[in-house]
């Protein structure tokens, strides 16, 4: 059964005349008759009472026509919803992101974008590393904002920010007055680490391996804000990016003397998956604003 057959059927039912219907549909009358006959054959019942070229729906036709009209309305509504959802200027952008990025980065990106594209809507999904990767893989989100280390060969990557990582201690800690610290000075300190479901875990593990220095975590927290809370309580020290969601009273942020300690945050999407015009436009915006920021940084330095 084909969609055109159903459209032909409803046109004949409305006009009650084969020749008039064929003219309205811009097909030959024999072709229309064949399509109707084929539809009736597939259903196993006649749909019309025929009197010459005039036709009227029989009881089977009346029963079927109400369902066909409903089905075609649903299809039309579906097409319209897809067009509205994917439209570059009024569609929906689906993004998943790490919890900690919802305090500063994500709101600022959306605010700035909607200033120029006020009709675009965002469907947002936040969570830990495992949550947001799953959202991308199952198609719930079109793209995710996370750490670079989660990028695979089947994904594209666009850097958004590089955030410096600091040694973080409580205000009462003996290192609190230091202007900078070497990681090697943390030897023997209780260390608050991260469990594997946190996006920053990969970055920290990689950076520590490059320094040939290891810390045995005393505590492993589920997320960054929990790490910050443990440090504030005096239960240990850690290394964290200085983001707005972690700036708790009672914490001291000390620059790391070893080079290369930064957290690269960016946008990731699958190479093999369709991106709607709305999502593609947002991606281009992020690319353009990043290039402007990089250009400004080169000028100032």
> DSSP string of 97-123?
EEGGGGTTHHHHHHHHHHHH-TT-EEE
Give the CA-trace dihedral at 122, 125, 126, 131, to 10 degrees.
-150
Lookup: tokens for 112: 């700035």
Indicate the DSSP class of residue 185: G
Q: Domains of the chain by range and CATH?
A: 3-86 (1.10.10.10), 92-159+270-300 (3.40.190.10), 162-263 (3.40.190.290)
Encoded tokens for 157: 């990557």
Number of neighbouring beta carbons within 10 Å of residue 231:
27
**Which of 222, 246, 262 lies closest to 168, judged by CA?**
246
Coil, helix or strand for 145? strand
pTM of the model: 0.67
- Determine contact, residues 160/145, Cβ cutoff 8 Å: yes
> Residues 222, 175: contact at Cβ < 8 Å?
no
> How many whole angstroms separate alpha carbon 270 and alpha carbon 239?
31
Output the pLDDT for position 150: 55
Query: Residue 271: which of 152, 159, 160 has the closest Cα?
Result: 152
Q: Quick one: pLDDT at residue 299? A: 36
Q: Is 260 left (phi over 0), alpha (psi -120 to 50) or beta?
A: left
Q: Which pair of structure tokens corresponds to residue 154?
A: 């089947």
pLDDT tens for each residue of 142-181: 999 988 655 567 888 899 988 899 999 999 999 999 999 9
Residues of the chain with pLDDT under 70: 84-85, 148-152, 197-199, 291-301
What stretches of the chain adopt beta strand conformation (E)?
48-51, 54-57, 92-98, 121-127, 143-147, 155-170, 191-194, 217-221, 238-241, 251-255, 262-270
Nearest Cα to 235, choosing from 296, 288, 284, 172?
A: 172
In this predicted structure, what is the pLDDT of residue 107? Answer: 93
Which residue carries 């790391």 as its tokens? Answer: 256
Question: Strand, helix or coil at 163?
Answer: strand
Write down the pLDDT at residue 168: 96
CB 29 within 8 A of CB 18: yes
């Amino acid at each position: 059964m084909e969609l055109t057959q159903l459209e032909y059927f409803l046109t004949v039912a409305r006009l009650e005349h084969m020749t008039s219907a064929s003219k309205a549909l811009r097909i030959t009358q024999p072709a229309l008759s064949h399509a109707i006959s084929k539809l009736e054959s597939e259903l196993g019942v006649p749909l019309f009472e025929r009197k010459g070229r005039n036709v009227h729906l029989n009881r089977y036709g009346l029963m079927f026509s109400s369902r066909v009209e409903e089905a075609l309305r649903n299809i039309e509504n579906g097409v319209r919803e897809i067009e509205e959802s994917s439209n570059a200027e009024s569609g929906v952008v689906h993004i998943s992101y790490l919890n900690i990025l919802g305090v500063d980065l994500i709101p600022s990106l959306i605010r700035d974008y909607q200033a120029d594209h006020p009709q675009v809507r965002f469907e947002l999904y936040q969570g830990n590393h495992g949550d947001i990767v799953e959202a991308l893989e199952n198609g719930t989100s079109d793209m995710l904002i996370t750490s670079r280390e989660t990028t695979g060969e089947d994904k594209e990557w666009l850097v958004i920010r590089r955030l410096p990582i600091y040694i973080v201690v409580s205000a009462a800690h003996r290192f609190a007055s230091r202007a900078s610290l070497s990681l090697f000075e943390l030897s023997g300190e209780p260390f608050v680490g991260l469990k594997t479901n946190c996006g920053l875990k990969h970055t920290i593990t990689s950076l520590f391996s490059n320094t040939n220095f290891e810390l045995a975590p005393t505590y492993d927290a589920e997320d960054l804000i929990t790490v910050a809370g443990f440090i504030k309580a005096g239960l240990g020290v850690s290394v964290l990016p200085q983001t707005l969601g972690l700036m708790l009273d009672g914490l001291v942020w000390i620059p790391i003397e070893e080079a290369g300690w930064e957290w690269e945050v960016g946008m990731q999407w699958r190479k093999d998956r369709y991106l709607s015009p709305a999502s593609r436009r947002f991606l281009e915006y992020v690319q353009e604003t990043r290039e402007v920021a990089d250009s400004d940084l080169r000028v100032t330095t």
